């Protein structure tokens, strides 16, 4: 698998080039043979910031129609508690039920068994390729570092 690397300080975050990326730090993989259907999961960037995900909760039951940016659940980890939002408009089809009992796959196999959900999007959302996502990360990393340092100084 071919990847590109983004340095998060001294830590490498790897991003496969055969998937697309949403600006909410989810990877996007087309489901073979299904028009506008995708599998979503957390990118290495998100997993590195969260560290050790131990709880995942969904606010909705699949199948359900979603608006882009709609809150769909929450996640808790060693470092943060955060809401999860829909990366596109469409119909959420399934959740990865195995993660409900043991979300550790998010940490150890983020681009495989750690997938979060599948959805059918309305139209063709403008997801980024790996290079565009790295450029996006360069922009948000500056703000993220300031936030992390601010938290460390509190």
Domains and CATH numbers, the chain: 3-153 (2.40.50.100)
pTM of the predicted protein model: 0.89
Question: Which residues contact residue 114 at a Cβ distance below 8 angstroms, ignoring those fewer than 6 apart?
Answer: 41, 42, 96, 99, 105, 106, 107, 108
pLDDT number for residue 139: 86
Would you tell me how many other CB atoms lie within 10 Å of the CB of residue 53? Answer: 23
Closest C-alpha among 50, 58, 53, 56 to residue 104: 53
Give the tokens for residue 152.
């460390």
Note the pLDDT of residue 151.
Answer: 53
Eight-class DSSP state of 31: P
**Which mean pLDDT values do the consecutive 10-residue runs of the chain (154 residues) have?**
87 94 95 95 92 92 96 90 95 95 92 96 91 92 65 47
- pLDDT value for 51: 86
Nearest to 89 by CA among 67, 69, 73: 67
Which regions of the chain does DSSP assign to beta strands (E)? 3-8, 11-16, 20-22, 26-30, 37-42, 53-58, 64-66, 71-77, 81-85, 90-95, 117-121
């Amino acid at each position: 698998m071919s990847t590109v690397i983004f340095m998060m300080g001294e830590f490498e975050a790897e991003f496969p080039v055969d998937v697309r990326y949403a600006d909410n730090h989810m990877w996007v993989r087309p489901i073979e043979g299904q028009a506008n259907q995708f599998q979503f999961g957390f990118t290495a960037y998100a997993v590195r910031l969260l560290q050790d995900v131990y709880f995942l909760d969904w606010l909705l039951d699949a199948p359900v129609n979603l608006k882009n940016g709609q809150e769909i659940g929450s996640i808790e980890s060693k470092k943060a508690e955060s809401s999860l939002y829909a990366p596109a408009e469409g119909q959420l089809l399934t959740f990865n039920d195995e993660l409900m009992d043991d979300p550790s796959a998010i940490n150890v196999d983020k681009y495989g068994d750690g997938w979060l959900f599948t959805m059918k999007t309305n139209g063709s959302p403008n997801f980024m390729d790996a290079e565009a996502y790295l450029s996006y990360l360069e922009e948000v990393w500056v703000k993220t570092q300031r936030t992390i340092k601010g938290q460390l100084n509190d």
